[in-house]
Structure formats: structure tokens, C-alpha cells
Amino acid sequence: MSVNPVVKKETIRIAIGCTALSAVMVVIFALCGHFDWPVLWGALLGTAYAIVNFFLMAYTMQKSAESTHTQAKTKIQVSYTLRTLLMLAVGVMGMVLPCFNWLAVLLPFIFPSITIYIMHILKIADLPKKQDAPVEEDGRENTNQ
């Protein structure tokens, strides 16, 4: 099982983002006065699932990118179906078992996409600024371009 460096890099970034967002979620639970062990276990389960789901998706795509168009489509659709079944198992487990808080299990499912949005916002903030107009020797801006 050889993992592409791109897959590894993106998975690590998503994992860091999901963990940070989970910590924020647990803190918000605590501030609302609803913090207990089920919240913590639920956050752990949901975050672990979100990271594993992203990694499985990325790994399948890495494998699909080496195959033909039709094979790639089929591989991704099969992978999506299997990952949805895994999500169903985790979701039902979080809802049914009393040792998990259902909200703390379900919320981390959308953390990867929130992480991606945040990453894009930060990238936009890091864009290089527009270059200043060249200044002539007498201090005035050169507008004859």
C-alpha cells in the first residue's frame, strides 16, 4: 500500500482541521453546560470517521487516477457506496448507543468540508498584494505606462 505524497499531505491537513474543529465543538458544548463523557466519545467517533472517510476517498482516487476513464468511474462509485454504508453504521451507532451523544457524532461529518472552506479563505488572505506603481526620482508616481 503506497500512499501518494499528495494524498498524505491533504489527509494530514484535513485531520488537523477536523481535530481543531472538534475541540471547538467540545468547548462550545462545555460553555453551554452540556459537556459529559458521551459528548467526548461522540466527538472522537465522529472525527475519527471523518478523517478515515477522507483518507479512503483520497486513496481510492489515487488508485483510480492510474486507471482508464471508465474504470475510474466504476471504482469511485463502488467506493462511495461502501463509504456511505460505513457512514450509516457509524451514524446509527452514534444514535442508538447511549455512550455517544448523537449531535457530537453527526457534526464532525461535515468538518472536512468546513476545513477546506477555511483553507481556501486563508489562501485568499495570503494572495500576493498588488504591486505599487513605480516611483520616479522626484517622488511622484509614474503613471505613463
Question: Is 40 or 118 the residue whose CB approaches another protein more closely?
Answer: 118
What are the cell numbers at 121?
A: 479563505
Q: Applying CB under 8 A, does 44 fall inside the site for another protein?
A: no
Per rule CB under 8 A, is residue 14 in the interface with another protein? yes
Cell output for 47? 472525527
User: Residues 56 to 95: which contact another protein by CB under 8 A?
Assistant: 57-58, 61-62, 64-65, 67-70, 72-77, 80-81, 84, 87-88, 91-92, 95
Single out the segment in contact with another protein by CB under 8 A; choices: 26-34, 103-111, 124-132, 134-142.
Answer: 103-111
**Among residues 8, 97, 102, 118, which is the contact residue for another protein, using CB under 8 A?**
102
Nearest to 12 by CA among 79, 58, 45: 58
Instruction: Tell me whether residue 2 or residue 68 sits nearer to another protein (CB atom).
Output: 68
- Asked if 34 is part of the footprint of another protein (rule: CB under 8 A), the reply reads no
| DSSP of 33-100 | T---HHHHHHHHHHHHHHHHHHHHHHHHHHHHTTS-HHHHHHHHHHHHHHHHHHHHHHHHHHHH-TTS
Query: Considering beta carbons, is residue 7 or 39 the nearer one to another protein?
Result: 7
The nearest distance, CB 32 to another protein, in angstroms, is: 18
Q: Following DSSP, what letter does each residue of 88-132 receive, concatenated? A: HHHHHHHHH-TTS-HHHHHGGGGHHHHHHHHHHHHHHHTSPPPPP
Cα(101)–Cα(106) distance, integer angstroms: 9
Q: Please tell me whether residue 49 binds another protein under the rule CB under 8 A.
A: no
Least Å distance, CB 111 to another protein, is 10
